[in-house]
Amino acid sequence: MGHDDVTLFERRLDPVKPRLSDSRMIHFASGQSNEGRRNFFLTQYVLAPIVLIESQGPQTVIYVVPNYKTEVDGPNDVGYTTYEHGDGTKILDFHNGIKIAYLPENGLQ
């Protein structure tokens, strides 16, 4: 039953749900395209009762790994590795607990 885009989207988010079960509110980077906005509504529908806070894009996200043990004498600049995903997301991993993500214009897919 149901091969519509809502059912398929819900199936995609099934493995994500248990990892978010403790969250009450999460941010969603929707981008500026219609597709990104539609994905925002779809994600809200699928993840309810978690409330999604929409953020406009394109945007850059900085991610700081909590409790990261910095080596006092170690080099603090070892360069970075770039990962590019098929959906256009680019992640720069600085190998020191800091990552920067450049989200695609139409949001995370």
Partner 1 sequence: MIARVVLALLIPASLAFFVISLLWRSPKTALGIFCIKIFLAAGLGCGIFSCTFLIWLSVFGASTKAFWLTQAIICIVLALVWWRTRGQAPPPPPAEVAASPNPQLRFGWALDLVFFIALISAISAFIFLTLKSPHGNWDAWAVHNMKARLIFRAGDAWQTTFSSLPAWASLDYPLLVSFTIAGGWTLVGNDTLIIPGVVAFLFTFGTVGLLVSSLSISRSKAQGLLAGLVLLGSPLFIAQGSNQYLDIPIGYFFLASLSLFSLLDHLPDNQWGLLVLAGMSTGFSAWTKNEGFLFILAVVVARFFMITAKQGLKTYLKQMRPFAIGLGPVVLVIIYFKARFGAANLFLSGDGASILEKLLDGGRYVTVLSELKTQLTGMGGWTIAPIIVLLLYLLLLGPGKEWKNPNAIAALMTLFLMLLGYFFIFIITPFDLKWHLATTLDRLLMQLWPSFIFVFFLSVRTPEYMKHYRDHLVEQTTGTTYIDL
Residues within the interface to partner 1 (CB under 8 A): 1-4, 6-7, 10, 24-25, 41-42, 44-45, 48-49, 51, 53-54
> Least distance to partner 1 from the beta carbon of 51, Å?
5
Closest CA to 83 of 107, 97, 101, 68: 101
Nearer to partner 1, 25 or 62 (CB): 25
Three-point CA angle 16, 60, 39, nearest 5°: 40
Nearer to partner 1, 51 or 78 (CB): 51
Nearer to partner 1, 24 or 69 (CB): 24
Q: Say if residue 18 is exposed, middle or buried (CB neighbours under 10 Å; 0-12, 13-18, 19+).
A: exposed
> Least distance to partner 1 from the beta carbon of 62, Å?
24
Report yes or no: 25 and 50 within 8 Å, Cβ to Cβ: yes
